[in-house]
Amino acid sequence: MAKALRFRFSRGQELKYIAHLDMLRVFERAIKRAKIPVAYTQGFNPRQKLVFGLPMSIGLTSESEYADIELVEDMQPEEFVTQINKGLPDGLKAEEAVSMNTRDNIMNQITAARYEIVFEVKEPRSRFEIDTIIYDLLSREEISVMKKSKKGPKPVNIRPSIYSMSAGKIDAGKFLMKAFLSAGAENNLRVDLLMQSFSQETNLEINIISMHRKALYASTYNEWKNPFEVAND
């Protein structure tokens, strides 16, 4: 039994175009409908004690999102998953949960993410050509992209945030890109910005078909870990 849980959920095609704040509201309503004994913050505008690991960009599907929830009553992780799924709409599903007693919430622990992106190129390219383009790109010390800031858009070097990239050919003109990127509150590289920069820096005209988040990671003692593995650190 636990009064704090960390759970993993997936987001499918049905809800890939909702913004992060809208998804937060969907979960809040689902928690109310499922009558889960969630804890609330104090003050004039109490909110559910629910923290997501990493906001999701619009258009992104995922099989590996994480969130922390505090409760006012003990609840078995399996019971929580069953109950919340009764209130969630098609396209969102809680997959599993574990008890949690770490003082550090999931938002502070996430440091990396793994993605799969399916894209088409306008002009025919072989896998060797795409591999060469990626190799040349990653050989650079700087890969610039315009990123929003409080003072407006500014150029940012995203090369240090790209841990690995590779691409395999699916069929004529269509490729599957696999990318391992920095993520989290301090240094987050969105996959759509990566693909925007990839197109600009390589002069490839591409059409993105799908963007999917495969996994999120925490990092402790220079080792990548599943967020469940650090739920009780």
Considering the domain architecture, whether residues 90 and 141 belong to the same structural domain is answered as no
In this prediction, residue 116 carries a pLDDT of: 97
Q: Report the pLDDT averaged over residues 60-88.
A: 96
Residue 29 lies in a domain: yes
Instruction: Give the structural domain span for 21.
Output: 2-101
Render pLDDT for 128-170 as a digit per residue (tens, 0 to 9).
999 999 999 999 999 988 877 777 888 889 999 999 999 998 8
In this prediction, residue 171 carries a pLDDT of: 83
Considering the domain architecture, whether residues 73 and 123 belong to the same structural domain is answered as no
Considering the domain architecture, whether residues 91 and 132 belong to the same structural domain is answered as no
* 127 vs 92 pLDDT, higher one: 92
Last residue of a domain, one of 101, 121, 149: 101
In this prediction, residue 125 carries a pLDDT of: 87
Averaged pLDDT of the chain: 92
Considering the domain architecture, whether residues 159 and 211 belong to the same structural domain is answered as yes
Considering the domain architecture, whether residues 60 and 116 belong to the same structural domain is answered as no
CA 154, CA 103: separation in Å to the nearest integer? 35
Dihedral-angle region of residue 152 (phi above 0 means left; psi in -120 to 50 means alpha; beta otherwise): left
Q: Report the pLDDT averaged over residues 172-188.
A: 91
Residue 60 lies in a domain: yes
Q: Report the pLDDT averaged over residues 176-203.
A: 93
Q: Report the pLDDT averaged over residues 50-72.
A: 95
- Chain position carrying tokens 């590779």: 166
Domain tally, the chain:
2
Considering the domain architecture, whether residues 95 and 115 belong to the same structural domain is answered as no
Considering the domain architecture, whether residues 117 and 217 belong to the same structural domain is answered as yes
In this prediction, residue 83 carries a pLDDT of: 96
Residue 228 lies in a domain: no
Q: Report the pLDDT averaged over residues 192-197.
A: 93
Residue 58 lies in a domain: yes
Render pLDDT for 200-218 as a digit per residue (tens, 0 to 9).
988 899 999 999 999 999 9
Last residue of a domain, one of 101, 128, 154: 101
Last residue of a domain, one of 68, 101, 134: 101
Considering the domain architecture, whether residues 80 and 118 belong to the same structural domain is answered as no
Considering the domain architecture, whether residues 39 and 58 belong to the same structural domain is answered as yes
Q: CATH code at 192?
A: 3.30.70.3190
Percent of the chain beyond pLDDT 90? 79
In this prediction, residue 154 carries a pLDDT of: 86
Residue 180 lies in a domain: yes
Question: Is residue 2 over pLDDT 80?
Answer: no
Question: Is residue 233 over pLDDT 80?
Answer: no
Render pLDDT for 214-224 as a digit per residue (tens, 0 to 9).
999 998 888 99
Residue 231 lies in a domain: no
Q: CATH code at 70?
A: 3.30.70.580
Considering the domain architecture, whether residues 122 and 212 belong to the same structural domain is answered as yes
Considering the domain architecture, whether residues 79 and 122 belong to the same structural domain is answered as no
Q: How confident is the model at residue 91 (pLDDT cuts 50, 70, 90)?
A: very high
Considering the domain architecture, whether residues 55 and 115 belong to the same structural domain is answered as no
Residue 211 lies in a domain: yes
Closest CA relative to residue 154, chosen from 192, 183, 193, 115: 193
Residue 232 lies in a domain: no
In this prediction, residue 1 carries a pLDDT of: 56
